[in-house]
Amino acid sequence: AQKITQTQPGMFVQEKEAVTLDCTYDTSDPSYGLFWYKQPSSGEMIFLIYQGSYDQQNATEGRYSLNFQKARKSANLVISASQLGDSAMYFCAMREWNTGNQFYFGTGTSLTVIP
C-alpha cells in the first residue's frame, strides 16, 4: 500500500480564493510526522508546514493550515487567499519516528492559480 496518497494530479483555483489539497497516509506507527512541501518550477523544495501525530491542534503557518483528521488518516493542506506565486507542485510527506529513517513522499499535486 502507498504510504502517502495524493489523488489530485492537478488543481486550479481563482486568485484570492482558498484551495484544499488532499493527502491521505497509511501507517501503523503511532508516532509520525506529516509535512507539506512546495516545489515551484525552479525546482527547489520549500518546507511549508508540519503536523505531529500527537498534536492536538491543526498546524497553521500564515496562509497555510493543515486539516489533520487522524481517524481518517488525512492531512489536507488548505491555502487561503491564493496568490499567483502559489502556483507550484505540492508534496505531502510522512516520517514514521519508530520505523526506519525514510520520509515518504506522495506523487504531488500541481496547483495553478488563475488571475
Return residues touching other proteins (CB under 8 A): 33, 35, 37, 43-47, 50, 91, 93, 95, 97, 100-108
| H helices, E strands: number in the chain | 0, 12
Q: What angle do CA 30, 34, 37 make, to 5 degrees?
A: 165
- Cβ neighbours for 50, distance < 8 A, ≥ 6 positions apart: 33, 34, 35, 59
**CB of 24 or CB of 95, closer to other proteins:** 95
Tell me how far, at minimum, the Cβ of 15 lies from other proteins, in Å: 25
Tell me how far, at minimum, the Cβ of 96 lies from other proteins, in Å: 11
Measured CA to CA, the distance from residue 115 to residue 101 in angstroms comes to 41
**CB of 83 or CB of 102, closer to other proteins:** 102
Tell me how far, at minimum, the Cβ of 42 lies from other proteins, in Å: 8
